[in-house]
Amino acid sequence: MTDLTADLAGIRSPNPFWLASGPPTNTEYQVARAFDAGWGGAVWKTVGEPIVNVSSRYSSVDLGGRRMMGLNNIELITDRTIEDNLREIESIKRTYPDHAVIVSLMVESKREVWHEIVKRSEDTGADGLELNFGCPHGMSERGMGSAVGQVPEYAEMITGWVKEVARTPVIAKLTPNVTDVRPIAQAAFRGGADAVSLINTINSITGVNLDTLVPSPTVAGLTSHGGYCGPAVKPIALNMVSSIAADPEAPIPISGIGGIEKWQDAAEFILLGSSNVQVCTAVMHYGFRIIEELTGGLATWMESKGFETIEDFRGKTVETVTNWNDLDLSYKVVAEIDRKTCINCKLCYIACEDGAHQSIELVKSKGEFWPKVMDDLCVGCNLCHLVCPVDGCIQMVEVDAGKGDTWKKRMAKLEG
């Protein structure tokens, strides 16, 4: 039997799918609906001194008819009082004792203020705390959020303050708006964090309205940079998660966030080192019921691979991510076009001729010109395979398994 139980730094949940801190976790009503639907845990929308949000808060990037490929928001933390939030958190945890309930926190950078909010939050019976070191807009301008998460010394200091009084596991939520996320994870680890979660949203402006000449979302003729999330950010999130999972200076559990909307996405995050995953944008788009596909799909895949628990495959892919100079320069693949399924759209030829390596020619057959790969010129870049609209029509075929001839070895020979 497949067991989806997840464990992040001692915080257990019936499955690895948590709601990330955001609009879907703003109230007891919403979190109760989520738990009834089957979500394993929830990180409450960030609690702190309530703010006033603007009207007109979201914008999106659509792609090929698909809505919200990327979502931008200029919404800030909770606009509800600390008292109201903590009362509802206590009620949720009492009603759903087996689900993970995490309090996301953001307050001004003073030790006594952090001590107070930590104690009040843990008095609710919550399972853990998430420190919001990632909000890229609004709060960072006030010296909080990513203003903390971009400076290792600040992240370590505040994490240390929290750990002075915290009785439950502490998760540091990291910003992607840095050159290298590893020093921030290392700082949180030195400060005593029990886990990290990432990524928070990416600084963004999604576009400009060419009629009004103002970007969206528009607030009385003006806008502000916002936080970008959704499926478009998943590759960035996977890279940052894997970099921390492979970093010996930050041996710390990871909660993966960023563009997760299918069970396959979750499996990828876990393979690259995440102990669980958090979802927000997909719920804002499709609702809480997507949890049925997430849990069902992941369980079926695990069974097909012979994995009984999450731990059986967590981090299995980490070691396959290496530096470029460790890649085998003698490994070789070439493209192969299946004439039976080819629709002769010639996209592969155009892409290769104008944007790649001029390795496809047009050969006349039965009165038409068809694309044909020139094996001796093909460099195996994959572009034709990627642009082909017919699944399986163009395959990349291995012709040389390689001999371990890496750039690092070549440079070592020259230096020797």
pLDDT at 237: 98
CATH of domain 6-320: 3.20.20.70
Residue 231: which H helix or E strand, with range? none
Question: Nearest 10 degrees: CA dihedral of 213, 216, 222, 223?
Answer: -130
pLDDT at 51: 87
Strand order in the sheet with 58-63: 58-63, 66-73, 226-229, 202-204
Model confidence at 141: pLDDT above 70: no
Residue 243: which H helix or E strand, with range? helix 234-245
Strand extents, DSSP E, 178-275: 195-198, 202-204, 226-229, 254-257
Render pLDDT for 364-389 as a digit per residue (tens, 0 to 9). Answer: 998 999 999 999 999 999 999 999 99
Average pLDDT over residues 285-296: 98
What is the residue-averaged pLDDT of the chain? 96
pLDDT at 140: 66
Query: How far is Cα 395 from Cα 398, in angstroms, rounded to an integer?
Result: 10
DSSP 57: -
Query: How far is Cα 283 from Cα 100, in angstroms, rounded to an integer?
Result: 18
pLDDT at 154: 93
Query: How far is Cα 238 from Cα 265, in angstroms, rounded to an integer?
Result: 9
Domain 324-415 is found in CATH 3.30.70.20 = yes
- Count of other CB atoms within 10 angstroms of residue 128: 24
pLDDT at 135: 82
Average pLDDT over residues 54-60: 96
pLDDT at 83: 97
Model confidence at 144: pLDDT above 90: no
pLDDT at 138: 58
Q: Where residue 134 falls among pLDDT bands split at 50, 70, 90?
A: confident
pLDDT at 416: 76
Residue ranges per structural domain of the chain: 6-320, 324-415
Model confidence at 142: pLDDT above 70: no
pLDDT at 147: 78
pLDDT at 201: 95
Q: Where residue 145 falls among pLDDT bands split at 50, 70, 90?
A: confident
Render pLDDT for 61-106 as a digit per residue (tens, 0 to 9). Answer: 999 889 999 999 999 999 999 999 999 999 999 999 999 999 999 9
Q: pLDDT higher for 142 or 260? A: 260
Maximum Cα interatomic distance, the chain, rounded to a whole number of Å: 82
Render pLDDT for 187-235 as a digit per residue (tens, 0 to 9). Answer: 999 999 999 999 999 999 999 999 999 999 999 999 999 999 999 999 9
Same-fold call for 6-320 versus 324-415: no
Model confidence at 283: pLDDT above 80: yes
pLDDT over 90 percentage in the chain:
93
Query: How far is Cα 86 from Cα 15, in angstroms, rounded to an integer?
Result: 24
pLDDT at 148: 84
Which residues, in sequence order, are CB contacts of 382 under 8 Å at separation 6+?
335, 396
From the list 135, 348, 384, 393, the catalytic residue is 135
pTM: 0.95
Asked about 342 being catalytic, the answer comes back as no
Q: Given the DSSP bridges, would you call strands 360-365 and 11-13 parallel, antiparallel or unpaired? A: unpaired
- Helix axes 234-245 and 263-271, enclosed angle (nearest 10): 30
